[in-house]
Amino acid sequence: MNHGLYISFWLPTAVLGAALAIKLPSILKLWRDPLLRAVGGLLVFACAVFVFAAPKTIAWTNRVTGVPNIAAPWVYSLLTALSASWLLLIIAWRNGRTERSAQTRRATRWVVSVYAGVVVALWVLFALADVPVERIRDLDTYYANTPYMREEILLYLLAHTVACSVTARLVWNWSRTEGLDAWLRWGLRFLGAGYVTNLVFSAAKLSAVAARWTGHDLDWLNTGIAPSAACIAATLVAIGFIVPHAGQYLQERWRVRRRHRSLKPLSRLVRTVTGAREPFDLRATPELRLIRRETFIRDALLQLARHLDDDLRARSYDAAVALGFERGRAQALAAGVALLDAVEARERSRREPGAPQPGTSQPGTSGPGMPAAPNSPRTEARTASVNPPRTEARTASAAVSPAAVSPAGVSPAAVSEAAVSPAAGSPTASAAPSSSGPDTTYLLREIQAVSRVLRHPLDLQAVRAHVAAPAESMSTHE
């Protein structure tokens, strides 16, 4: 017996088992979903086929039952059930859970009835056949001319070929559909390649059997090409089921970790406001760590609200646009300049209790090297109403607390974006001061963009220098 061939039967079994393990939680949780039931049945039957088709298992089955070659109808039955599960999966995919429900039920009953009839016929034909000599690897060609066994072999191969042909065509058509998720498209391509390779298995078997009928010997197709094609096909099918699930999972984990890392500059900056670090737990999931960092940052930003200078942010936006930055980048740079100014203003106010609030001075007075400028009536009028109540900070903080994550699987990004509603209007409009105090909407909503510009201190310095320049040097944009 070829040991390498024997090992190859267990490789697809391992891959199929991994696919089943990945899908099993969803299958058990949503058992009423016909699509998931079809996937589960397909993977179970595929694993069973390769377990019982291994030469060692065939010999064990024959020995335990005491019936020579009884493993043949058993493996043929499993392969027929696998073929039926392919068609049931396609029916569930095409028709969905609710659309054309009557047609779906009719198609399902037809497939189950036909292939159940094939399984019954396989056992009846085996009972009528005379197959006393045990054949582990070449039973199909050895008994190709034996009455009843000949019909049995032809029956299971035809059932398998029909199912492969229909499934391969429909899967390939679906893989070319517009608007599919990239991971799902690749999964379908692997599935399609697997079903096409299964046709190679059927073609090799049928060719070897037909050669025996005509007095020729092409047994190598049966003992060499067919098993190899089956193993490759099963591996491709398993990968086709794994790729969409694993790909989407890994992509989401990468997105969450990247978002968490991108907030590091802003997190470091606001530590000076809170005097503490964000909560950390080694056992926390990446999603929970992201939400805790976002909550920590937003809480600190709310503490800085009374020190934010909206005039400085509006002026910084105009300066960034004049320097050639595109609209979104200019808005983030303007928010970054205003945030750095607020942090510096807060530090000064802590060192000098009698120092004027940032709302009573023109932009540039808080930064090093920024020239002083006369007060504007708008900023003087705003000074008395800048201090927001502490309950507002607690309310906004609760909007992004870890408890806001729903058990249904809402992504952290969705929670983060939903925590603060988007402000309408242009960047300049959103930078304008509100009637009740500084506008923190953009800062709370776009912490990712603000954190990214903090990685580019030269751009921030350029904007601050442009804001601090004399009025006649400003661009005509102003």
**What pLDDT is recorded for position 437?**
61
Buried b (16+ CB within 10 A) or exposed e, 150-177: bebbbbbbebbbebbeebbebbbebbee
Residue appearing with tokens 């607390």: 401
Partnered with residue 385 across adjacent β-strands are none
Considering just the CA atoms, what is the radius of gyration of the chain in Å?
35
Q: Is 356 helix (H, G, I), strand (E, B) or coil?
A: coil
Q: Could you tell me which residues come within 8 angstroms of residue 380 by beta carbon, excluding any fewer than 6 positions away? A: 359, 360
**What pLDDT is recorded for position 78?**
94
- pLDDT tens digits, 352-365: 655 554 444 444 43
- pLDDT tens digits, 77-99: 999 999 999 888 888 776 655 44
Task: Transcribe 11-54 into DSSP letters.
Answer: HHHHHHHHHHHHHHHHHHHTTT-HHHHHHHHHHHHHHHHHHHHS
Task: Transcribe 409-420 into DSSP letters.
Answer: T--HHHHHHHHS
Partnered with residue 434 across adjacent β-strands are 437
Name residues of the chain where pLDDT drops below 50: 1-7, 98-99, 357-435, 471-478
Partnered with residue 437 across adjacent β-strands are 434
First vs last C-alpha separation in the chain:
86
**What pLDDT is recorded for position 343?**
87
171 close to 177: Cβ distance less than 8 angstroms: no
For residue 102 the two structure tokens come to 């009557």
* Cβ neighbours, 10 Å, residue 56: 12
d(CA 182, CA 175): 10
Q: Could you tell me which residues come within 8 angstroms of residue 174 by beta carbon, excluding any fewer than 6 positions away? A: 93, 180, 188
d(CA 240, CA 217): 36
**What pLDDT is recorded for position 374?**
35
**Beta-sheet strands, E only, within 225-355:** none
325 close to 453: Cβ distance less than 8 angstroms: no
Percent of the chain beyond pLDDT 90?
A: 23
**What pLDDT is recorded for position 270?**
83
**What pLDDT is recorded for position 139?**
92
304 close to 366: Cβ distance less than 8 angstroms: no
| CA distance readout (Å), 400 to 125, 294, 335, 352, 437 | 67, 7, 21, 34, 22
φ and ψ at residue 410, rounded to 5 degrees: -65, 135
